[in-house]
Amino acid sequence: MDLAAADRRAFLSGLALSMLAAALAAEAQPAGAARRIGYISNVQSSSLTESWWEAFVASLREQGWVEHQNIIIERRYTELRKEAALAVAEELVRLRVDVIVVSSTLTALAARQATTTVPIVLTVPADPVATGLVTSLARPGGNVTGLSFVGTELAGKQVELLKEAVPGLARVAVLANPTNASHPLRTKEIAEVARALKVKLDVLEARTPGEIKAAFATMAKRRPGAAIVLADPLFVGEAGNLVRLAAEQELPVMYGLREAVVAGGLMAYGASFTDLFRRAAIYVDKILKGAKPADLPVEQASKFELVINLKTAKALRLAIPQSLLVRADEVIQ
CA–centroid distance for 267 within its chain = 19
What's the pLDDT score for residue 287?
Answer: 98
Instruction: Please give the average per-residue pLDDT across 188-212, as a whole number.
Output: 95
Q: What pLDDT, on a 0 to 100 scale, did the predictor assign at position 151?
A: 55
pLDDT for residue 11 is more than 80: no
Inform me whether the pLDDT recorded for 150 exceeds 70: no
- The b-or-e profile of 25-55 (16+ CB within 10 A means b, else e) is eeeeeeeeebbbbbbbbbbeeeebbeebbeb
Q: Is the pLDDT of residue 23 over 50?
A: no
pLDDT at 44 over 80: no
Residues 84-142: tens digit of each pLDDT: 999 999 999 999 999 999 988 889 999 999 999 999 999 977 678 888 899 999 999 99
Q: Please report the pLDDT score of residue 37 as a whole number.
A: 98
pLDDT tens digits for range 74-89: 999 998 788 999 999 9
Write out the DSSP string of 150-217: -HHHHHHHHHHHHHHHSTT--EEEEEE-TT-TTHHHHHHHHHHHHHHTT-EEEEEE-SSHHHHHHHHH
CB 36 within 8 A of CB 71: yes
- The predicted pLDDT at position 15 comes to 43
Domains and their CATH numbers in the chain: 35-149+273-303 (3.40.50.2300), 151-271+305-332 (3.40.50.2300)
Give the whole-angstrom CA distance, residue 333 versus residue 328. 13
**pLDDT, mean of residues 151-155:** 69
SS3 at position 70: coil
Integer Cα distance of 247 and 266 in angstroms = 9
Whether 20 has a pLDDT exceeding 50, the answer reads: no
Q: Using the predicted structure, report yes or no on whether residue 56 has a pLDDT greater than 60.
A: yes
Q: What is the pLDDT of residue 4?
A: 45
DSSP string, 88-157: HHHHHHHTT-SEEEESSHHHHHHHHHH-SSS-EEESS-S-TTTTTS-S-SS---SSEEEEE--HHHHHHH
Which one has a higher pLDDT value, 28 or 264?
264
Q: Tell me the C-alpha distance between 215 and 89, whole Å.
A: 32
Measured CA to CA, the distance from residue 325 to residue 97 in angstroms comes to 46
Q: Using CA atoms, how far apart are residues 50 and 95, in angstroms rounded to an integer?
A: 24
Residue 26 pLDDT more than 80? no
In degrees rounded to 5, what are phi and psi of residue 74?
Answer: -90, 95
All residues at 6 or more sequence positions from 230 whose CB lies less than 8 Å from its CB, including other chains: 151, 155, 174, 175, 176, 177, 180, 183, 186, 187, 256
Q: How far is the C-alpha of 219 from the C-alpha of 186, rounded, in Å?
A: 20
Mean predicted confidence (pLDDT) in 4-11: 46
pLDDT higher than 70, residue 8: no
Using an 8 Å Cβ cutoff, are 119 and 96 in contact? no
In this prediction, residue 152 carries a pLDDT of: 57
Predicted pLDDT at 321: 95
Q: Considering the entire predicted model, what is its pTM?
A: 0.78
Give the whole-number percent of the chain exceeding pLDDT 90: 67
Q: How confident is the model at residue 27 (pLDDT cuts 50, 70, 90)?
A: very low
Burial of 166 (0-12, 13-18, 19+ CB in 10 A): buried
State how far the Cα of 86 lies from the Cα of 115, in Å rounded to an integer: 10
Q: Which residues contact 278 (CB under 8 A, 6 or more apart)?
A: 55, 56, 58, 59
| pLDDT at residue 31 tops 70 | no
Mean pLDDT of the chain: 88
Phi/psi region, residue 157 (left: phi>0; alpha: psi -120 to 50; beta: rest), is alpha
